[in-house]
Amino acid sequence: MRGLDVPDIPHYDVAVIGYGPTGVTAANLLGQLGLTVVVIERNPDIYGRARAISTDEEVLRIWQQIGLADRLQEDMLAGGEVAFVDADGDPIIETEAVPRGSGHPPQQFIYQPALEKVLREGIDRFPDVEVLLEHECLRVLQDGAGAELMLADLRTDSFVRVRASYVIAADGGSSPTRAQLGIGYEGRTYAERWVVIDTKVLEDWPGHDRLRFHCNPARPTVDCPTPLGHHRWEFPVRDDEDEDELVSEAAIWRVLNGQGITDTQVKILRAVVYSHHVRFADRWRVGRIFLAGDAAHAMPPWIGQGMSAGVRDAANLCWKLAAVLDGTLPEAILDSYQQERLPHVREVTDRAVKVGKIITQHNRTLAALRDRLFPIVLRIPRVADWLRDNRWIPDAFSPQGLVATPRAVESAAPGWLIPQPWVLDEKGARVRLDDVLGRRWTILHLGAAQAWPGWHTAEVPSVRLASSGTTPTAGAVVDIDATLTDWMRTKNATVIVLRPDRVVYAAAGPDSALAPPPPGMAARRTSVPERSGAADLDSGSGRALSAAHDETETLE
């Protein structure tokens, strides 16, 4: 599947346009899979503004795949109780993110420049990943063998050409690549603009480590802790206010003083104004070019999922590209990328919009009704649990796409992301399940191994999930707390086939047959080596990555 080389033009398996969180995650995933990658980024360094402020356990699980989850969490702040408060500061809603079984804290606050620094350092482990900073992609042309990219070297004012079998455009909401392809970006931009104030914490104050949404109709405000000694506030620009004046130091201090914050407690780093968007690209694939992250979709920030959605895009797409390039799967499976990701992104966006409506209600009558009703309704048994489970991200589930069809009637497991328990490996070491399985197709079963027609031909290994208390043996892992065992039983499955992203492709119960492999699936035919496992990276070079440090910044 590798494209034809053109003399004097370097050829790569994948070109990644954009080096933000989505692009750098993609580069790490592809580099670990042993592919040749070129990353194109017009800026000379990491973007200094901390745009994203939180992430979740499923995204940390993705970063676990590349051996960086533990290192990244050293620079994170675990999320706790979240409070929606009225104009007087009294709670309307108090809730907390609950674990979904991915083996990491359910919510983590981040400082984005520090996070990107660690992810970029991770690229240094992969000699086949080349990063071209201060290069801008001017044009992408496709042919039957791949794509040719015309780049401008902004350092030397010269032009460079490269070729790649596939291209991932993670070049932001204003994506020049999307524009070149003529892809629509439908949706809306909210008229109301928001001021974002980033600060350095000098002295703690009561509640400095809690996320609070001040649902004040006169001035809704987001009060958010961020790690490494930072804190953020966000508030909307009123119709009668001047944006330029609002980002002046005097105006910022008026807002912060109104929150009870003084210059002995924080130092202002910057203040900027931005808009909220709800947009979706019409198509995420045109031939060999794929859109990812903000280039494919944009959402309001209310549940902190904009960056995380892009990381999920990269995780869904990269293993599929690798499978096509090494001959394991046919190119047709790449159409499942948008098919699987778009429904989840739409639902996340819908939830973000709903949460935003609660926070930003400007009608004083409706706001008063909200303030009175929510505390009453939340006293009803199970309502608080329902709100907590439905306020944040929906479950990771892809009923259509690269999933066995027709789905087995006996099992409800296909399409679901499995929980990740702590297990004992064959040597008796306590490890996360994904670190044992690696990034490969795997058959996971509760009983004795069987022939499972077709899967042996594709050289898919099988691993037995043994019950707690069982002595570790070769070819088996012990489910210490029965987390995954119980999950499989609720789905009426005694055997499941896992894709490399830990989504169930097929499943069967005790009285049903396991579906065959995807059409065209074959044993790996090329010699592309996967780099060392995720566990080794986190405990070795991953842990050796330098701690992110804060630098003095000035108000823009």
| Mean local confidence (pLDDT), 547-554 | 34
| Mean local confidence (pLDDT), 91-99 | 86
**144-153 pLDDT per residue, tens:** 899 999 999 9
Specify the fold of 11-74+109-186+278-356: FAD/NAD(P)-binding domain (3.50.50)
Given pLDDT bands bounded at 50, 70 and 90, which one contains residue 387? low
Could you give the C-alpha distances from 191 to 132, 188, 236, 274, in angstroms and in order? 36, 9, 10, 10
* Residues 320, 548: Cα–Cα separation, whole Å: 32
- 389 vs 502, residue with greater confidence: 502
pLDDT at 277: 94
| Mean local confidence (pLDDT), 191-204 | 93
- Cα 94 to chain centroid, rounded: 25
Residue spans of the domains in the chain: they are 11-74+109-186+278-356, 422-517
Sequence-distant (≥ 6) Cβ neighbours of residue 90 within 8 angstroms: none
* Residues 146, 11: Cα–Cα separation, whole Å: 9
* Residues 529, 499: Cα–Cα separation, whole Å: 18
Given pLDDT bands bounded at 50, 70 and 90, which one contains residue 267? very high
pLDDT at 309: 97
Question: Closest by alpha carbon to 226, among 264, 194, 270, 190?
Answer: 270
Could you give the C-alpha distances from 316 to 292, 394, 399, in angstroms and in order? 10, 16, 14
**457-515 pLDDT per residue, tens:** 899 999 999 999 899 999 999 999 999 999 999 999 999 999 999 999 999 998 888 99
Cβ atoms of 56 and 392 closer than 8 Å: yes
Q: Do domains 11-74+109-186+278-356 and 422-517 have the same CATH topology?
A: no
pLDDT at 541: 34
The answer, yes or no, to whether residue 360 has pLDDT greater than 90, is yes
- Look at strands 211-214 and 81-85 and give their pairing: parallel
Cβ atoms of 288 and 473 closer than 8 Å: no
**401-426 pLDDT per residue, tens:** 999 975 544 689 999 999 999 999 99
* Residues 27, 125: Cα–Cα separation, whole Å: 11
pLDDT at 390: 60
The answer, yes or no, to whether residue 250 has pLDDT greater than 60, is yes
| Mean local confidence (pLDDT), 421-433 | 95
Could you give the C-alpha distances from 128 to 27, 39, 152, 537, in angstroms and in order? 10, 11, 22, 17
Cβ atoms of 384 and 378 closer than 8 Å: yes
What's the CA dihedral at 406, 409, 412, 414 to 10 degrees?
-20
Given pLDDT bands bounded at 50, 70 and 90, which one contains residue 380? confident
Handedness of CA 490, 492, 498, 503 (dihedral sign): negative
| Mean local confidence (pLDDT), 348-367 | 93
Could you give the C-alpha distances from 175 to 136, 146, 296, 375, 532, in angstroms and in order? 12, 20, 9, 43, 33
Q: What's the pTM value of the predicted model, to 2 decimals?
A: 0.92
Specify the fold of 422-517: Glutaredoxin (3.40.30)
Q: What percent of the chain has pLDDT over 70?
A: 91
Given pLDDT bands bounded at 50, 70 and 90, which one contains residue 386? confident
Task: Identify residue 12 by its one-letter amino acid code.
Answer: Y
- 94 vs 10, residue with greater confidence: 10
Given pLDDT bands bounded at 50, 70 and 90, which one contains residue 239? confident
| Mean local confidence (pLDDT), 376-392 | 73
* Residues 16, 20: Cα–Cα separation, whole Å: 10
Continuous segment of H or E residues that includes residue 161: strand 158-169
| Mean local confidence (pLDDT), 210-222 | 93
Q: Where are the alpha helices (DSSP H) in 438-494?
A: 483-490
* Residues 358, 366: Cα–Cα separation, whole Å: 10
| Mean local confidence (pLDDT), 251-268 | 93
The answer, yes or no, to whether residue 391 has pLDDT greater than 60, is no
Range with lowest mean pLDDT among 214-223, 488-497, 543-552: 543-552
**21-56 pLDDT per residue, tens:** 999 999 999 999 999 999 999 999 998 777 899 999
